[in-house]
Structure 1
Amino acid sequence: MIVSAWRQAYFSGTNPRRDVMTETLERTAIVTGASKGIGAAIAKRLASDGLAVVVNYSRDEQPALDVVAAIKADGGRAIAVKADIGAASGAAALFDAAEQAFGGVDVLVNNAGIMALAQIATVEDADFERQVAVNLGGTFRGMREAARRLRDGGRIINFSSSVVGFYQPAYGVYAATKAAVEALTHILAKELGPREITVNAVAPGPVETELFMAGKSEEMLKTIIGLNPRKRLGQPGDIASVVSFLAGPDSGWVSGQIIRANGGAI
């Protein structure tokens, strides 16, 4: 069985806030949108850190089952749970499943999101409403559920985007939803501080995933890569490493922060 870095630090007494941390032998994380891309990398990384993981998916079950199988093959614990986080009942269903399978929840990673690019004058109402429902509504309901049900000393990790700082044409609605997520992150961090629950957001730059690569020409990709000081696209593992830190014992004094994981682009 994987040995948790958190458990090693916590039970060795190196964590100064042991008095408020859960004493369960295994911590549990919910990762939304975890069947592919960044979410899948996060789920596997947290499992390797010793957490039991709820792998959320909304439509295609097989990729989520593949993530669960990979985690179990490495000695971890995981289940796949179907839930649409854009729906009113999505967040509660994930917490219900986690509590039934693993006894409680310590970490929520609000990773799931969608992006429909269009200049503001051409945005269709359906695209606007769906992005707001998933990116903002889903994250809000996840945060609300976590505020009610997360164990003391837990972690909430939201996902914003570095496009909030770029303000590029065609990203208007998407960037607006992510800016709202950042505002919620700052506020909930203050509300949950007395319970030693940290709330942060990760704002990736361009990451080489199926979602990002879709519809982009080779010339466009070269331009994007050329704008980054590191001269490459981010990889899902780059982002999973940041989430691992925020979910772990060494980030206890980090809360209300937006971490722009983009290789120094901004």
Structure 2
Amino acid sequence: MSGPLMLVTGGSRGIGAAVARLAAAEGWTVAVNYVRDETAANGLVAAIESDGGSAFAVKGDVGSEADVLAVFRAVDRAGPLKALVNNAGIVDRVGRLDTFSAARIERMFRINVLGSFLCAREAVKRMSTAHGGSGGTIVNVSSAAAKFGGPDQYIDYASAKGAIDTMTVGLAKEVIREGVRVCAVRPGIIETEIHASGGQPDRVAEMGPGLPMGRAGTAEEVARAILWLASDAASYSSGAILDVSGGRSIWP
């Protein structure tokens, strides 16, 4: 393992995979976290290595504290952690709150909120100078839905991402004097597989032309914003939440 170490949760597809590829190209050693698709994670690692980069896959469900601890133990064996990208997250089928089960809401918050909190906690324990670390960066992946609320679609997802925004600001204040910067990105409509997993495979094609830029964004565009926040180029930014939403300011 040659470069500084970055952990990307949910790194085998979509925005996470784009972050892993670009980070490796910029010299990071990347820990690609995945929960189910081992083939995709190993394929991404192989592609990174074939391009001269350094990466390894590590399995674990961020919604499980035991799994999170195991992931961080695996990362510890590769070297000191310098960056965490809290990317793992889920959506669910479109609907209104009055149709949601308790199981759906619990799963949404367990993975999207609890998972990010647990990973951030473990990262701080390793990065903070108060814990003997040498500093680092946490970049949380929020969503423009946190601003718009997701009515008639998934207000549970939007609310979970609102919690991530609040955690970003609060944690940044807690650790700003300990060498740890905490920021976030808020993607808008992005071309990734997450829409299909929520039962809307045509969402990007349908919404893209009506967005301010006349198109959806790409995972690589979001990844470049994440990598900037994780880099020394953003050394005076903490608590910042960067919209990567193509100028989208209201729910269409």
In the superposition, the TM-score normalised over structure 1's length comes to 0.86
1:103 aligns with 2:79: yes
SS in 2 for 1:118: coil
> Deviations for 1:103-129, whole angstroms, at most 9, x for unmatched residues?
110000000000113210000111111
Partner of 1:14: none
Which residue number in structure 1 is paired with residue 130 of structure 2?
none
Hey, what does 1:191 align to over in structure 2? Answer: 174
Q: Which structure is higher in strand share? A: 2
Question: Does residue 1:113 correspond to 2:89, yes or no?
Answer: yes
Q: Aligned equivalents of 2:207 and 2:40: distance in 1?
A: 28
Matched, 1:53 2:30: yes
Alignment CA distance shift 1:120-1:52 (3 Å) = same
Percent identity between the aligned chains? 39
User: Does the 8 Å CA contact 2:19/2:220 hold for their aligned counterparts?
Assistant: yes
AA aligned opposite 1:126:
A
Match among 180, 199, 205 for residue 163 of structure 2: 180
Q: Quote the residue 1:21 is aligned against.
A: none
Aligned-residue offset at 1:90? 2.6
Question: Partner of 1:147 in structure 2?
Answer: 124
State the alpha-carbon separation in 2 of the partners of residues 141 and 262 from structure 1. Answer: 27
1:26 aligned residue:
3
- Residue aligned with 1:89, SS: helix
Given that 1:160 and 1:178 are in contact with CA atoms closer than 8 Å, whether structure 2 keeps it comes out as yes
SS at match of 1:260: strand
1:40 equivalent in alignment to 2:17: yes
Shift of residue 186, structure 1, vs aligned partner? 0.3
Return 5+ residue gaps in structure 2 as ranges: 128-132
Q: 2:200 aligns with which of 216, 241, 244?
A: 216
- The answer to whether the Cα contact below 8 Å between 1:95 and 1:105 also exists between their aligned partners in 2 is no
What amino acid is the match of 1:260? D
Compute the displacement of 1:226 (Å). Answer: 2.9
Contact persistence 2:191–2:204 (CA under 8 A) = no
Q: Cα 1:248–1:221, aligned 2, differ >3 Å: closer, same or farther?
A: closer
Deviations 1:23-66 (A, max 9, x none): xx631000000111111001111111111010000011000001
Instruction: Summarize the Cα distance change of 1:221–1:149 in structure 2 as closer, same or farther, 3 Å threshold.
Output: closer
| Matches for 1:235-246 after TM superposition, within 5 Å | 235-246=218-229
The offset of 1:199, in angstroms, is: 0.2
CA change 1:221–1:47 in 2 (3 A) is closer
Q: Take 1:173 and 1:104, find their aligned partners in 2: how far apart are those partners?
A: 35
Supply the distance in 2 between the matched residues of 1:227 and 1:165 (Cα, whole angstroms): 18
- The one-letter amino acid paired with 2:91 is M
Distance 1:98 1:240 in 2: 21
1:71 paired residue number: 48
Residues 152 and 124 of structure 1: CA distance in aligned 2, closer, same or farther (over 3 Å): same
